[in-house]
Amino acid sequence: MSYTYEECKATADWLMAQTDIRPRIGIVCGSGLGGLANLLKDQVVFNYRDIPNFPQSTVHGHAGRLVFGTLKGRPCVCMQGRFHLYEGYPIQKITLPIRIFKLLGVDTVILTNAAGGLNQDFKVGDIMIMKDHINMPGFAGNNPLSGPNDERFGTRFPCMSDAYDRELQQLAMEVGQELGYGDFLREGVYCVLSGPSFETIAECRMLHRLGADAVGMSTVHEVIVARHCGMRVFALSLITNQAVMDYDSEEKANHEEVLQTGKQRSEQLERLVSTLVTRIEHNNIYA
């Protein structure tokens, strides 16, 4: 099921009728990383269940609230909870909020996620700046842009070689160094799978050989839709667990560990994002 431009606009107009905040930055919080939304001042909060056309959050660690407010003076909108393919939603429904962001006036999207580390140099607690992605469900025909294309959102065949804004990656690296995060700040390639089962050992080995540094079940669909409609994208993965690559290992991936690592690193991740938001303003990267 696909949403028409008019349906997306109706949801955006409904939201804009209830708040004067006109966000230029849209933030999506990953598993256990919803604390970012609490940094917003002068909040106007909507439960997803009250927003026309919105799906509901079903995953522990995703609160299901859309929070408008200001972050260091910048008007922002923040998804405290995202949607995943494994929740059973059509891929176009998962990414609906990104188009709503666009129609609200957002031009820069910042996404966070929890991910398993495939790169053997990565440690649990590392923050990885996403420089690229591998869209595994897309290889099997599951792309959020499948179906009729509405040119009011974007072109039929959008380019993805520039999906992740290089200036923002550079800026985030600088901000991270200044904050003293150099020891746990990385960059790399994120691979999305549909989940909800975690990977087998053979799958982790394969993904690593294919060039992925981290694996998760989100973000990429949102990035594709954001780029399709011309928004700038910056994304971070928190490495919440090491992917199991060795048959002698006793490690077992589990969602509790994912949420636990999120708690341990949330303060630094929040500071990195909020400082980045301030620098976007200072550097006047905005059009």
Ligand X SMILES: O=P(O)(O)O[C@H]1O[C@H](CO)[C@@H](O)[C@H]1O
Ligand Y SMILES: Nc1nc2[nH]cnc2c(=O)[nH]1
E-assigned strand segments in 14-170:
25-28, 41-47, 65-71, 74-80, 108-117, 127-135
Instruction: Tell me which of 130, 136, 212, 217 is the catalytic residue.
Output: 217
255 given a catalytic annotation = yes
Stretch that binds ligand X, among 34-42, 171-179, 213-221, 268-276 (CB under 6 A): 213-221
133 binds ligand X (CB under 6 A): no
E-assigned strand segments in 159-212:
185-192
Half-sphere exposure of 191 (CA within 13 A, CB side): 24
Number of residues that bind ligand X (CB under 6 A): 13
Q: Which does 30 bind (CB under 5 to 8 A by kind): ligand Y, ligand X, none?
A: ligand X
- C-alpha distances in angstroms, 15 versus 12, 81, 156, 224? 5, 17, 28, 23
* 184 labeled part of a ligand binding site: no
175 binds ligand Y (CB under 6 A): no
Residues facing 130 on adjacent strands: 188
Contact 40, 71 (CB under 8 A): yes
125 binds ligand Y (CB under 6 A): no
181 given a catalytic annotation = no
217 binds ligand Y (CB under 6 A): yes
Q: How many CB atoms neighbour CB 45 within 10 A? A: 16
Strand pairing of 185-192 and 25-28?
unpaired
What six digits make up the tokens of 258? 């994912």
* 113 labeled part of a ligand binding site: no
Q: Which of 216, 225, 226, 261 binds ligand X (CB under 6 A)?
A: 216
113 binds ligand X (CB under 6 A): yes
- CA 54, CA 93: separation in Å to the nearest integer? 8
82 binds ligand X (CB under 6 A): yes
25 binds ligand Y (CB under 6 A): no
What is the smallest separation between the CB atom of 36 and ligand X, expressed in angstroms? 12
What is the smallest separation between the CB atom of 232 and ligand Y, expressed in angstroms? 25
87 given a catalytic annotation = yes
- C-alpha distances in angstroms, 80 versus 62, 99, 185, 249? 6, 16, 23, 34
Output the known binding site.
Answer: 31, 62, 82-84, 114, 199, 218, 241
Interaction site with ligand Y (CB under 6 A):
114-116, 193, 195, 198-199, 215-217, 240-241, 243, 253, 258
Looking at the annotation, which residues are catalytic?
Answer: 31, 62, 84, 86-87, 114, 217-218, 241, 255
